[in-house]
Amino acid sequence: MSSRTRRLVTAVSLCVAGSLSLAGTASAADFFVDRDTGDDANIATNCQQANPCQAIGLGVTAATNAGSGNTVKVDDSATAYDADNVSLFSGVSVVADEFVDGVESGDGRPIINSGASSAFFVSIGGNAGTISGFRFETNGGSGITASSGPIAAIIDNVFEDPGASGGDIGVVTAATGSTPSISGNLFSDLLRGVQVNGGSPAITGNEFTGMRANGVAAGTGSLTLTGNFLHNPGLGGEGFRLGNVGPTNALSVSSTRNRILGGAGGIVVSDAVGPVSLSSDLIAGQSTAAISIADSDNSGDTGVAATNVTAVADPGATRDIDLDGAVLTLNSSIVGDQGINDLNGGTCSIAFSRGPVTGPGCDGFQTTADPEFVDAIGGDLHLLAGSPMIDAGSTTAPGFGALDIDGDPRALDGDGACPLVKRRDIGADEFSIAQPTCSTPPPSGGGHDREAEEVQEEEEGEEGRGRGEEEVQEEAQEALAA
């Protein structure tokens, strides 16, 4: 059995096993809430669709009392819902659902007024499923707080502070062992979008605008940040703040394909104990520095590995990267003309990267060439055709499935001509051009596709054997004719 066949059999077996396990699971139930047509007296009949409850809290109570894994469906209404500190337990999900005809709030999202508290609260002994489809309007509080219990997913919500002042936070996670998926949300005009005080959230594909402090702040835990867009921050606002000043609990971060534009600082790493990696991130237009890394307690525990990153602060800034007593490993990356400001014994390892100076230490860039961005002043830092950054990055092949800032495959041939040489570009953008089909499979990252070569050798062998048989038949026919 070939390795490919074994993989297919394994995949099918897993699917069958999953189907069998699901077949034995009791189906979850739905409970309904509508601010306009509901009545809280309908809690007596479990808030069913024909007789919905009016308050979200009662819908959650009915769903929790009925067992685990149930869903509360909330209809859009002309009047905002009040949901201060609604406690979630038993894996209950709360989702927007237009089960009563008509769009009442303007955009179809039920508005939840969390006031100075949290709209949804998960504490000791509690846990939540999915929270999706709402517009959370805060006034000094937070939309969702998981203080000591897990949440499965927070998807496609809007978190905003209409007053654009105070200490509003969209989502707070703190539960050890919790792995929430926070994806596809809009965070607008808050103090902070997501605050991570524990757990391992995956923060993916969100938009943050108007943040007065940070888009994401994490003091401890293990988090992944992927494909988020942060722009137009408030005065002094930052993109990501990772770690705390002084001693801190362990924090590990994987940041990939995030786009951070403007603000005072882009990615700020302070005393983060644990690996922090940046890959294909684009950080540009900051007034202080695109990236700041500091080991302020001199413990030697703070370092960042940045690969295929573009870090270009505003031209008025004094540096693109601030390095204070920490360690920076830079590979295949673009740093702007302000360069790296090295303080208090910070150390650098730089390979295949562009910066303003070539030399030892934190000036050790391999090229000072103009990256030739499409429109650097306008914020378009894609590479122009002919940029010296194209096919000039590391000769080591990127990991399987690696993507650039736009989601294009990493390591494409830069001129689109055979023979193809698929070497990564320098910076967050991989210049994308149509890749022709060549007669000989191209090397990838300096290596060779041995499997393709073996197939080609086998085909050539079969052609040779075919020609040999033809020659034998011709000789036999000539002998008979004689």
The helix/strand/coil state of 415 is: coil
Residue 466 lies in a domain: no
11: in domain: no
CA atoms of 151 and 102, how far apart (whole Å): 30
**Is the C-alpha dihedral spanning 164, 239, 222, 299 positive or negative?**
negative
Taking the C-alpha atoms of residue 388 and residue 418, their distance in angstroms, rounded to an integer, is 19
Contacts 24+ apart (CB under 8 A), 455-458: none
* pTM metric for this prediction: 0.84
Residue 204 lies in a domain: yes
Instruction: Give domain status of residue 462, yes or no.
Output: no
Domain-embedded: residue 128: yes
Which residues form the domain of 363? 29-375
Domains in the chain: how many in total? 1
* CATH number for position 365: 2.160.20
In a domain, 17, yes or no: no
Predicted confidence pLDDT, tens digits, the chain (482 residues): 444 333 333 333 333 334 333 333 457 899 999 999 999 999 999 999 999 999 999 999 999 999 999 999 999 998 999 888 899 999 999 999 999 987 777 788 999 988 778 999 998 889 999 999 999 998 888 999 998 889 999 999 999 998 878 889 999 998 888 899 999 999 999 999 999 998 899 999 999 999 999 999 998 889 999 999 999 998 889 999 998 765 556 789 999 999 999 999 999 998 877 789 999 999 999 999 999 999 877 666 788 999 999 999 999 999 999 999 899 999 999 999 999 998 888 899 999 999 999 877 788 999 999 999 999 988 899 999 999 999 999 999 998 999 999 999 999 988 888 988 889 999 999 999 888 898 866 565 544 444 444 445 554 454 444 444 455 455 545 544 54
Q: Could you tell me the strand order of the sheet in which 282-284 lies?
A: 81-82, 111-115, 135-138, 158-160, 186-188, 207-209, 229-231, 259-261, 282-284, 310-312, 334-335
223, β-bridge pairs: 253
